[in-house]
Structure formats: structure tokens, C-alpha cells
Structure 1
């Protein structure tokens, strides 16, 4: 049985979604989101969505690209995923080798990859010259059966709850808020969000982003905190980003945003809530623990020098 690796075609979207859901069941994706991810990729990213086929069946996939938003040149990423029924077939190794060749040709000096914190996955990475850097956790909340905090009886003076839909006419304030919060996130690959048009394509117009369930907290009319809600439109909800701007931290506004969004997501019929946090992001982990989220998996970012 031969494994081949090729580039994504639009009619692969359903199969790619199935592979991703099987490989990482704590993430949220849809065929529309897969198509949009490819269509909206910035040219500087040199993005490729690789497909692994075995006897004509799609068994694996890999997101591959240059970390062009990082202030450090030469960084790149490759994240192969193989359906659990086809691990050990050579698909993961071939996806990774193809990704590394592409990235090296585009001038990358190092490649980062997320690896599930399980012996087999870590051995796969270490065998290919990758070394671990920092862990992150996937967390799950039983949105249907869990107990959520009650909304506050009254908001503090000057504080207002809005949704992302309120910014449909001009999303730029949300872009600016996202840029500040993202800059402060702990990560091996930082991101400087300074391209508004790219943000519109990648973030604002992402089919997973639910503008009605995304909660924005304002103080005296200015954005102070927000939580971005990603959904599959059926039952699964994922916190794409939750953050508070520097001038407003320490006031419980991130909790307020998440409380509002989670309550409305449950009322809309969503049953499972997921999120992910860097293991060193103590404040956000504490907030999620307060809500009742539990760690359901851990992954470790690995890096390998190219060349």
C-alpha cells in the first residue's frame, strides 16, 4: 500500500475535516473553514495544505508555512496530522519531510511543530531531530451539563457587554484589541498583527468565528476585553482567543466576557466547550479552571533547525 503526498484540492475539504476531527477531537473545524484557511493565506506565509493519500484515501494532512507575522525572521511551522486508523503507515513521516523541503526552499531556518504529549508522538518527533520547547493544554467544559456562573446582577459603572456583530460596520477596534492581546501571549513564535486586511481575511471572516456569540466588554465605550467564539454551527464551541487589554487587567473583565459568551452558547444549543492555553499562561488557566474546564490533552511544541 503506497502513501503519496500532494497539495490540497477544494474537493478534499470534507475528508480533511474528518482527519482533523479524528486526530485532534478537542479542536473545532468545518469544511468551510478548511477552504477559507487555504483561500485567505497571506502570500508571505508560503502556505501549503499537504494531503497524504493511501490507495486513494485521504489519511493525513499538514498545515505548513512561514511564520511571517513573527518579528524573528526564518521561523516556520509544520503540523502533520494522521487519522488514528492509519498511524504507522509512513504518512506522518512523508508529510513532515515534504513540509521541511518546502520550508527550506522558502528560506526557513527552523521549523516548529506541535506534538501530542504521548510516548509515540514524542518518539516520532525526536527520531526526526525535533527537540521539545514548551507545552500547552487542551481543556474541555461540559457546556450542557456543567454549572456556569450566574451573570452579574448589575455591571460596574461604564461597563457594557456587546457582541462582535456590533462592530460589523467597522471591525478595526477589534483588530487593534486583538493585536495588543496577541502580542502579550506566551509563545515560541510571537505575532505582530499589523496588517488589517490580512486580519480581516484570516480572523474576522473566518467561517468558524461566531460574531453573535463573541462577547466584547467595553469600558466607557472603549474595548477592554473580549472572548472570540469559534463554533461548528452544531454542538461544539471553542474559545479562539480571550484577552484583556493592558490598561484594564485585574478587574475580572475576561471572566465577564467568558461568562456571557458561554451562557449564550449554551442557550443556543452548544454542548461542548473547548479551549487551549500555553502551560505558562497562569492567569488564563486559572480563569478556565474557575469555569470548570478540565485538561483533556497536552501537546508540546518542538523545533528543529533546517539546513
Structure 2
């Protein structure tokens, strides 16, 4: 068996897609999605991908990269993946050895990796290499046929009585609405739970909207906002998934600091889920930091059922 690790090329996109979909069947992607991720990646950030081959056949990949949304020049996300039929043969260890050599040459001080809690082989692989859980993302989903949406009318009346208007972002017709949403997101994101000692590197206005508009699946009629006196007070986003046409993924749900405890998050979630059901979508997925008790409570009340969590694993002191 001849093992080889070479730099990835554009010709590897179909293999990368097939590998992803075989390893993560619950979160499938499309070739267009993979291509877009490559096309929109910032060229000034370190990103290296290697394809692992056995006797000339692609069987896995290794990746390390600086993170745009949580940037530090000496901190890298890492991933060593091997097709399931090739696992258990020591090939992941060979990929990892190369990744570790590369990030050490860049004076890395911390590595990040993500793994689903029920992927015991992958979790053991990381743990054996000194990674420890630093953050947990609680995943959940609801079948819209079973969602508890009967509180919609009452929730909407409550926020309207306090002077709020609920509308789709697509119908929020003011010239600077993209500027307003960017500013809203920048402020609200500061309160999102994140790993200790890490800070968000929030993108500037042009970059923020560049990545959104590059996605042909983006649908602003499925982003819902709460408005008061012409200002954004709350947001709840649903995003179509190209590989799962009847499923939606929840984006950011948040309330501006000055408008919290008004029932906006619940009302916006109810509006969004009701609209999704009316359009014929079957299922909605979401993820929340396990410490975000208020949002988890809202999702539980709406009928979301817990699924295996994603773990944010880290290793320091290389």
C-alpha cells in the first residue's frame, strides 16, 4: 500500500464533496456549495488542504486554516478526514503527522477541531492527540408538522402592543437596511457565547454582504425582523439548504440589547416557522451553545428535539 499526501487542486472538488457527504450524511452539501466556499475564501488568510491517496486513489484529506470570524495569526482550525471504508488502518495518523508539522512551522499556539459527540472514533482520535472539549453546540430540529405554533397570534399581539412591527427583511424597504442589519449583527454577536479567551473578528460591511450575496440559496424573504421607530430590534433567519430542498437551517436569532425581554425572539421564531410550514418545508434545524439557556428554552417550547451535539475541541501548547 503506497500512501501519498499531495496539495489539493480544483479537480478534487468532486472527491471532497463525496467525502463530506459520506462522513456527514445529516449535513449534506453540493458541488456548487463547495466551489462557492473556495471562491469566497479570503486569500490573505492561511488555508492549506492536502489530499491523501493510497495507490493513487483519493481516500481522505487534511486541512488547516486561520479562521476569519475568530482570527488570530497563530491559531488554526484543523481537520484530518478519512473515508469510512479506509478508517482503522492508521491513515488518519499519517495525515495528522503532516498537519502537525505544518502548523508547528507556523508557530501555532492553539488548534481547533470540531466533532459530533456520537462520532466516537473521531472523538477518540482527537482526545488521544491532546484535544479537550472547550465548547458544546446543542443541535436540535423540529418537524414542522409537529411544531407548536399555536401561540403565534398572542406573541405577535404582545410585541405589536409595545410598538414593534414584524416583517420579512425583504420587505423592510429603507435605503440603508443592509447597513442597519450589519450594525445590528455586529452588536448582537458580541453576546454570543464563544470559547474562553477568543474574540469575534467581525467582517466589515462589504465583506459581510459579499459572502451572503454569493450564496444563490440566500432568501431574504425567510429572514424576519422586528422594527421599532425605523430601527432593527430583533432578527430570526431561516436559510434554505441546496442539498435538502425541504429542510431549512436556522441562522442568527437575536434581539438588540435595548429591546430584550419584550418577547421578540419568540414572536420572530413563530412567524418564521409558520411561514416555512406554509411554504411546504418539512423540517427546520438549529444549533445553540449549550449555555444559551434562554434560546434553548424557546426552541424546546416550539417542539425542537435535541440531536447529537457538535463539540468544539482545542489543543494548546504545541
TM-score normalised by length of structure 1: 0.85
Mapped contact 2:146–2:303 kept (Cα < 8 A): no
Please point out which of 150, 153, 163 is paired with 1:158: 163
Please point out which of 292, 306, 315 is paired with 1:281: 292
String of CA shifts for 1:64-106, please: whole Å, max 9, x gaps. Answer: 3213443765322124455444433545444444444444444
Corresponding residue pairs, total: 307
Asked which structure has the greater CA Rg, the reply is: 2
- Please give the secondary structure, in 1, of the residue aligned with 2:201: coil
Can you give the 5+ residue segments of structure 2 that lack an aligned partner in the other structure? none
Mapped contact 2:142–2:303 kept (Cα < 8 A): yes
Aligned to 2:214: 205
Against the structure 1 CA distance between its residues 6 and 216, is the aligned structure 2 distance closer, same or farther, given a 3 Å change threshold?
A: farther
Distance 2:84 2:161 in 1: 49
String of CA shifts for 1:213-252, please: whole Å, max 9, x gaps. Answer: 1112212221111122221241121112211111111112
Deviates more, 1:30-39 or 1:66-75: 66-75
Q: What is the CA distance between 1:43 and its match in structure 2?
A: 3.0
Q: Which runs of 4+ in 1 moved over 6 A?
A: none
Distance 1:140 1:206 in 2: 23
Mapped contact 1:161–1:218 kept (Cα < 8 A): yes
Aligned to 1:77: 77
Aligned to 2:189: 182
Distance 2:18 2:91 in 1: 16
Distance 1:302 1:255 in 2: 31
Q: What is the CA distance between 1:185 and its match in structure 2?
A: 1.0
Q: What is the CA distance between 1:163 and its match in structure 2?
A: 2.4
Distance 1:94 1:166 in 2: 53
String of CA shifts for 1:145-191, please: whole Å, max 9, x gaps. Answer: 44434532643343222323346964121111111222211111431
Aligned to 1:236: 247
Aligned to 1:173: 180
RMSD: 2.9
Distance 2:3 2:217 in 1: 31
TM-score normalised by length of structure 2: 0.82
Against the structure 1 CA distance between its residues 15 and 255, is the aligned structure 2 distance closer, same or farther, given a 3 Å change threshold?
A: farther
Distance 1:257 1:245 in 2: 13
String of CA shifts for 1:280-299, please: whole Å, max 9, x gaps. Answer: 11111111111111111022
Q: What is the CA distance between 1:55 and its match in structure 2?
A: 5.9
Distance 1:173 1:111 in 2: 34
Aligned to 1:137: 138
Mapped contact 1:137–1:299 kept (Cα < 8 A): yes
Can you give the 5+ residue segments of structure 1 that lack an aligned partner in the other structure? none
Distance 1:13 1:162 in 2: 39
Aligned to 2:113: 113
Mapped contact 2:68–2:201 kept (Cα < 8 A): no
Aligned to 2:66: 66
